[in-house]
Structure 1
Amino acid sequence: MNRRPGLSVRLKLTISYAGFLLLAGAVLLAVFWVFVLRWLPTDDPGAIRRAVGSVIIIGYNRSDLLRGFAPASVAALAFLLVFGLLGGWVLAGRMLAPLTQIADAARLASHGSLSHRIRLEGPRDEFRELSDVFDTMLEQLESHVAEQQRFAANASHELRTPLAISQSLLDVARNDPARDQGELIERLHTVNTRAIELTEALLLLSRSGRGTFTREPVDLSLVAEEATETLLPLAERRQITLDVTGEPTRAVGSAPLLLRMATNLVQNAIVHNLPTGGTVTVHTESQRDASVLRVENTGHRLPPELVPTLIEPFQRGTTRIRTDGHVGVGLGLAIVHSIVRAHDGTLDLTPRPTGGLIVTARLPATPRAASPDEAH
């Protein structure tokens, strides 16, 4: 936005300081005039001595005193003006020095340097608080940008893999026309299906992260039942028992996104389970200020340091064992985390002592912006 140039804040403060000092001096001189000069006679010659209460005024007549007083007053006011300008300029510079540091940091950030921190020293005041908030913002922004760059690199790598495989299969078919075309088509179909799944997962992850969806009342117990019914054939093939418990649990959000959240959690619990004879328990409950969906599954023991990384995109976990023979795209829990975060909720992952994982999604029972009347 183009704006006409104006006075700097430091110059404005300098003028304000000098003006205030000049005004204080003028008021002081006015008080002197009212209190002293009005008690002096206008034309009596010689010295006078007059008592005003407990104060004794000794001087000459008003004309003589005014002739001597006026030049001294002008000189005093001129001194106050110069002193106010110089002192105000120095004081304003010292007061605005933290803002200069913040502006320099913002300028560096606008050029792409997010690693700089202000770290303003001194006691906690308004400038120190602003500096700390700005440092926190830079830290979060740097972390977000690094996460996006890492995500873009991983997504490019993941998308490149099926495309490279397809290219290799096509090169083989072109160089060897006698090769079995049915096998080639089947392998191309498998690779293409994986690429489509990955692309759809990336699109869903992007949409859910923006939070631009219609919010409506959703019963998490019905969502959990629908998700388990959809994945029941997969669980039966792996001889895994699905158990849905709990009560009607009212949440507010996007029904399709919450269904995808529950489906991903149940599918993740099935494919990362024991080879046979495992269990998956899906439980819903209403707490005082949250709606809870909890998915617990048996499985192999997970190292504690591995659990926090499971919600990161493309982090499949090398020690996790899948029982469905499918590699996956590594976005299941990342999508769940994105959906929960878009609904202003929290996602907790806790390893079971005997093996497996407990995933708990807590969603607000009412919209964050709803008024008390609307909440009831």
Structure 2
Amino acid sequence: MENTSTADTFFTRRLAQKGQPLIIAGPCSAESEEQVLTVARALKAAGQADMYRAGIWKPRTKPGGFEGRGTAALPWLQAARAETGLPMAIEVATPKHVEDALKHGIDVLWIGARTTVNPFAVQELADALAGTNTPVMVKNPVNPDLALWAGAIERLERAGIRDLAAIHRGFSTFAPSRYRNAPTWAIPIELKTRYPELPLINDPSHIGGKRDLLLPIAQKALDLDYDGLIIETHPDPDHALSDAAQQVTPARLQELLSELKYRYRSSDNVDYRNKAEELRQKMDTADHEILEMLARRMALIQELAEYKKENNVKILQLERWQEIFKTRPEWGNKLNINDKFVGELYKLIHIESIRLQTEILNGRPIDGPGPLGPGL
């Protein structure tokens, strides 16, 4: 993806004008003209929203539920835009959706998680959007796969779309979680690291799945320097036709936004700068010491692998691994280090240990999956 640091785009212009993260708000689904206009008027009156979002086509996991009003709802968004001046954003999943949206003057399109997971579908949308200069936001795929997310963005860019942003809406997981979709913050952070000029927007509604989780998720996103939030709001959330539990009233949205803390990227305070630089230098020294100790541990693993090879012993010693995974978090706790962090750290060490031992026992390199997925 090209460096767009000097690009004059829909998103960069609004970010520059506002000087704060963008706020995109509106109902999960456009249910009626009255509902669409009621929310739009409330957002305009509050003066906090930069864009209006609404679902038009809403295919659900299982058929039979409310699947949106379709093309019939597009004139309602036209009316809301004419009255409030708010740019309108909707999700598209097919070239026909793109055609209908552009005919009705929709300002911004987004590609949903179920579509991002399919490169064929993304390419069809990219081809349909070629030459339109339409701003497009790309949600992360359902599964935690950074390559798919980046690939979708790059397909659009290759089609000539330069007005791009990414939406982090969380990832499906089989593990027990308090979230509807696990945030897995490492993946959007890595995306931002690779494409620092790409605006990154957080979707606390779909990550949390519950109203009471919106504030802490949104606050963490802002603390991680996200460029915006996309939040679902409905005049009567409990009776919404889709995703009722995660929507809030416009009044509650206004309260929530007022409760967020907007922090600076840095400070001109000389004492802060001096102290931060001093602490960072100490961190550099500590990091060097950590790597030296890791190198020492890996050398011991290699030495052990040579003995296993000589004595025809298998790589995985389950009892030993269970002992390590039990004791290291306990040791970390005694040092005031989060035990879950220590557990995850030793999982990575164990993966690298198996890779090294496999290479030594079999005489050839074996590439394993990285922490963010295959090949990453």
Give the structure, 1 or 2, with the largest relative contact order (CA under 8 Å, sep 6 or more): 2
In the superposition, the TM-score normalised over structure 2's length comes to 0.22
TM-score normalised by the chain length of structure 1: 0.22
Which structure has greater strand proportion? 1
Tell which structure's C-alpha radius of gyration is larger.
1
